[in-house]
A and B are shown apart, each in its own frame.
Chain A
Amino acid sequence: MALLVILTASACQGPVSALDPAGQGAADIAWITWVMIAGTLFFMALMTGLWLHAVYRRSDRPLKLSNTTVLVGGGLVLPLVVITLLLVYGIRSGHSMLPIGAPDLEIRVTAYQWFWEFEYSDDQGRSLTLVDELHLPLGQRIDFHIDTADVIHSFWIPALGGKMDAIPGRTNTLRLVPTRAGQFGGQCAEFCGARHAHMHFAVTVHEPEDFQRWLDTAFEDAP
């Protein structure tokens, strides 16, 4: 058991962990994940308890439940209450992840077999393209406009938030808000062929001033 806990902890930490969130979306989802795991454990315990009771309690003072209690209570009321609560959560949390309100930064993402291109631009007409390397400012609303040059890919930085598919003929938008500076890993999440497993990219989240300094230098150096 102790071993299990240590192993769980070791898998939760790490540069590409969704359970070690460093972004608003990821934190929201990590929270509901723990809530749902607790709910799942509760339900499994309830079921196993009933099941063990059915198996071991033979005739002496058996817990008496009427047909309707079990059927209506367990089969109808319990699931309905749970899914109603989850629906309320879904609407609230779903809205918070939509690109509502103007973004602070927009980045064009283009997926290729098997690498990523990230294009930054500013209102002075300067632009910059990076391959498999992404720099983000802390605490700002960043919109990624995601497109692909060939097959379907999926843009995913587990520590920052959910994934969004890159689909031929469409441009999908994903909003992320980093909440912790540092180095993170991103990867392609939609199976895209032989080197899908190696379609990684590196993500660095900077303090906003550091980011601006980095961006200015990068624009100057860009060809």
Chain B
Amino acid sequence: MSQDTTAHHDDHHDDHHSAHPTGLTRWLFSTNHKEIGTLYLVFSLAMFLVGGAMALVIRAELFAPGLQLVNPEFFNQMTTMHALVMIFGAVMPAFVGLANWMVPLMIGAPDMALPRMNNWSFWILPFAFTLLLATLFMPSGAPASGWTLYPPLSLQGGNSLAFVILAIHLMGISSIMGAINIIATILNMRAPGMTLLRMPLFVWTWLITAFLLIAVMPVLAGAVTMLLTDRFFGTSFFNAAGGGDPVLYQHIFWFFGHPEVYIMILPAFGIVSEIIPTFSRKPLFGYTSMVYATASIAFLSFIVWAHHMFTVGMPLGAMLFFMYATMIIAVPTGIKIFNWIATMWRSSMTFETPMLFALGFVVLFTIGGLSGVMLAIVPANFQYHDTYFVVAHFHYVLVTGAIYSIMAAVYYWLPKWTGHMYNEKLGKIHFWWSTVWVNVLFFPQHYLGLAGMPRRIPDYAVQFTEFNVISSIGGFMFGFGQLLFVYIIWQCVRGGEKATAQVWEGARGLEWTVPSPAPLHTFDTPPVVDDSVAVHKDSLT
């Protein structure tokens, strides 16, 4: 970020180490994994704020029963866009940005395997989101059928559907290229001695996530393309009157949608598995079992999709299969949670901000996991499905799961990126503020859902008022608290206490052997890795 480079005007050797373009072209034409990683992360932060603003519109309308601030059409656009922006704009690019920055540093590679494609996979995203957000200003308004775009409802909308579908295609292309790049990098560019089972767990989880991305993003592309032809070219894939079936869309969509859930949580498992050992000053407990558990979760994620659609009227046998397969996921997830506890067991821990967010992740993600088990139970799901219980469940998984892990990662690696320590005191305030209010925000939604409040409604029965008021207050406090996060990052980029190469006392691994801030080019000469450098020893064997 703060590079001491002298600009060479009119030069034709931009790729030479000492010469580097400045200004806009530095970012536009960059093929450097660190700069592209930074672009991804900044983009993700911007989308996090946009999506967050939409969430505040939703919570403001739900502060009281009745219709007050926005009309139902706009409310529905907000729920739809909030989901699309947060999933495809905030969470996924943040993980790709972290992979860009850290995977080459962790495996001792000089850069990503395909640097020019790397540039392209990022620069597609601003176009995709321009298309998506532009629909807000179109006469027909943004899409308002929910982010799942179920037909026939999604086909009733205006031309904005075409914009959304094109935006989804662009995001998909970007994700697939990013995934190919990560797989190629991990499989081909590891330093000598960095065997697969010496790789840090963050690298392992991303390798598996990348395969999931390549497997399911084309499925989503297929589903939305069929929507496009149904809407504009007179086909009948999902049109019952023409011989199609709207349930087919739901099957295809969730065949993408469930692995997508793990695309957003496996890298989070990897991050937490890096941070907890560092601040426990102990190697990760059960490293190999963590790798196998991750792979099992990835496999299982392909055979559970129909648990999102138990109420469409399935045979009991099919429901029991999907219910049981879903609950089996609790086993590898349980292994992970107990491995993290075992890592902390009898260790000498300290609680810097990254560790706080990682511990917050372990505890709060577990709540999301347990409500997930409740949702998987077939007869119970008939009551919980499409209620606020589901909303509470997936926000525990995505906000206190995925987003908390991203925040933990940012605090953990920010000194390596910027060369400065962030303000520890503000970081701790950010953690405690967020943790208190995120629970005020989402915990009451469990009660709302169990009592019977459906999701995606701008107005509700008066019996639900109290909990909605509490939830909205939590939402606003949590939301505005994130401005502190932006301020802490800004402050850290600008200056602060100099960070050492090691940064954290207990940190192990190749990324801590390069100076802070990491120079633009690292590991031009591959390091030699042996057990003394390897991050994790398998304490099971």
A and B associate in one complex: yes
A: residues with CB less than 8 A from B are 7-8, 10-19, 25-26, 28-29, 32-33, 36, 40, 43-44, 47-48, 50-51, 54-55, 57-59, 62, 65, 67, 70-71, 74-76, 78-80, 82-83, 86-87, 89-91, 93-95, 97-98, 150-152, 154, 156, 158-159, 161-165, 167-170, 172-173, 185, 187-198
Known pairs A18-B452, A79-B331; A196 contacts B339 (CB<8 A): no
Q: Is the CB of B320 within 8 A of A193?
A: no
User: 9 closest A-B pairs (Cβ-Cβ)?
Assistant: A162-B382, A169-B240, A75-B335, A158-B452, A14-B463, A197-B457, A172-B313, A168-B240, A83-B327
Known pairs A167-B247, A194-B76; A71 contacts B383 (CB<8 A): no
Q: Is the CB of A28 within 8 A of B247?
A: no
Q: Is the CB of A40 within 8 A of B370?
A: yes
CB distance from A47 to the nearest CB of B (A): 6
Q: Which of B447-503 contact A (CB under 8 A)?
A: 447-448, 450-452, 454-461, 463-464, 466-467, 470
Q: Is the CB of B153 within 8 A of A70?
A: no
19 contacts between A and B (CB under 8 A): A16-B463, A25-B379, A47-B366, A54-B349, A62-B345, A65-B342, A67-B342, A75-B289, A79-B327, A94-B320, A154-B311, A158-B451, A161-B383, A163-B382, A163-B383, A164-B313, A167-B312, A168-B241, A170-B240
Q: Which of B38-91 contact A (CB under 8 A)?
A: 72-73, 76
Q: Is the CB of A95 within 8 A of B316?
A: yes
Contact of A71 among B152, B153, B342 (CB under 8 A): B342
Q: Is the CB of B73 within 8 A of A194?
A: yes
CA–CA, A62 to B346, complex, Å? 7
Residues in A neighbouring B451, C-beta threshold 8 A: 11-12, 14, 16-19, 158
Q: Is the CB of B463 within 8 A of A17?
A: yes
CB distance from A142 to the nearest CB of B (A): 16
Besides A80-B331, A158-B451, A164-B311, 11 new A-B residue pairs in contact (Cβ under 8 A), listed by A number: A18-B451, A44-B370, A54-B345, A67-B286, A82-B330, A151-B152, A162-B383, A164-B382, A168-B241, A170-B240, A197-B460
Q: Is the CB of A8 within 8 A of B447?
A: yes
Residues in A neighbouring B327, C-beta threshold 8 A: 79, 83, 86-87
Q: Is the CB of B311 within 8 A of A163?
A: yes
Known pairs A17-B463, A75-B339, A167-B312; A89 contacts B377 (CB<8 A): yes
Residues in B neighbouring A75, C-beta threshold 8 A: 289, 331, 334-339
Q: Is the CB of B463 within 8 A of A43?
A: no
- Residue B436 is within 8 A (CB to CB) of chain A in the complex: no
Q: Which of B246-293 contact A (CB under 8 A)?
A: 246-247, 285-286, 289
Q: Is the CB of B387 within 8 A of A189?
A: yes
CA–CA, A198 to B461, complex, Å? 10
Residues in B neighbouring A65, C-beta threshold 8 A: 342, 345
Residues in B neighbouring A54, C-beta threshold 8 A: 341, 344-347, 349
CB distance from B322 to the nearest CB of A (A): 11
CA–CA, A68 to B440, complex, Å? 37
SS class, residues of chain B in contact with chain A? helix
- Residue B36 is within 8 A (CB to CB) of chain A in the complex: no
B: residues with CB less than 8 A from A are 72-73, 76, 144-146, 150, 152-153, 156, 240-241, 245-247, 285-286, 289, 311-313, 316, 319-320, 323-324, 327-328, 330-331, 334-339, 341-342, 344-349, 359, 362-363, 366-367, 370-371, 373-374, 377-383, 385-387, 447-448, 450-452, 454-461, 463-464, 466-467, 470, 539-540
Known pairs A58-B348, A195-B72; A51 contacts B447 (CB<8 A): no
Q: Is the CB of B460 within 8 A of A94?
A: no
Q: Is the CB of B245 within 8 A of A169?
A: yes
Q: Is the CB of B379 within 8 A of A97?
A: yes
CB distance from A81 to the nearest CB of B (A): 11
Known pairs A94-B379, A162-B383, A191-B455; A87 contacts B461 (CB<8 A): no
Q: Is the CB of B320 within 8 A of A48?
A: no
Q: Is the CB of A191 within 8 A of B146?
A: yes
Interface-centre pick from B240, B245, B334, B456 (highest chain A CB count, 10 A)? B334
Interface-centre pick from B311, B374, B459 (highest chain A CB count, 10 A)? B311
CA–CA, A7 to B467, complex, Å? 8
Contact of B153 among A17, A67, A189, A192 (CB under 8 A): A192
CA–CA, A104 to B188, complex, Å? 68
Residues in B neighbouring A44, C-beta threshold 8 A: 366-367, 370
CA–CA, A117 to B61, complex, Å? 30
Known pairs A11-B463, A90-B320; A28 contacts B457 (CB<8 A): no
Chain B residue at minimum C-beta to C-beta distance from A173: B313
Residues in A neighbouring B156, C-beta threshold 8 A: 151, 193
Known pairs A7-B466, A163-B311, A194-B72; A98 contacts B152 (CB<8 A): no
Known pairs A19-B450, A152-B150, A194-B76; A29 contacts B380 (CB<8 A): yes
CA–CA, A58 to B328, complex, Å? 34
Known pairs A18-B450, A65-B345, A172-B313; A71 contacts B324 (CB<8 A): no
Q: Is the CB of A71 within 8 A of B385?
A: no
Q: Is the CB of B150 within 8 A of A187?
A: no
Residues in B neighbouring A188, C-beta threshold 8 A: 454
Residues in B neighbouring A14, C-beta threshold 8 A: 451, 461, 463
Contact of B459 among A47, A57, A152, A198 (CB under 8 A): A198
Chain A residue at minimum C-beta to C-beta distance from B444: A7
Chain B residue at minimum C-beta to C-beta distance from A159: B452
Q: Is the CB of A83 within 8 A of B382?
A: no
Q: Is the CB of A91 within 8 A of B363?
A: no
CA–CA, A17 to B378, complex, Å? 19
Q: Is the CB of B463 within 8 A of A10?
A: yes
Contact of B456 among A10, A32, A90, A191 (CB under 8 A): A191
Residues in A neighbouring B320, C-beta threshold 8 A: 87, 90-91, 94
CB distance from B328 to the nearest CB of A (A): 7
CB distance from B283 to the nearest CB of A (A): 12
Contact of B334 among A48, A74, A194 (CB under 8 A): A74
Q: Is the CB of A163 within 8 A of B463?
A: no
CA–CA, A18 to B451, complex, Å? 5
Known pairs A191-B455, A198-B459; A165 contacts B313 (CB<8 A): yes
Residues in B neighbouring A59, C-beta threshold 8 A: 346
Known pairs A33-B380, A40-B374, A89-B377; A16 contacts B452 (CB<8 A): yes
Known pairs A16-B463, A44-B370, A190-B386; A162 contacts B311 (CB<8 A): yes
Residues in B neighbouring A190, C-beta threshold 8 A: 311, 386
CB distance from A209 to the nearest CB of B (A): 30
Residues in B neighbouring A173, C-beta threshold 8 A: 313
Residues in A neighbouring B381, C-beta threshold 8 A: 162
Q: Is the CB of A97 within 8 A of B247?
A: no
Contact of B363 among A40, A48, A170 (CB under 8 A): A48
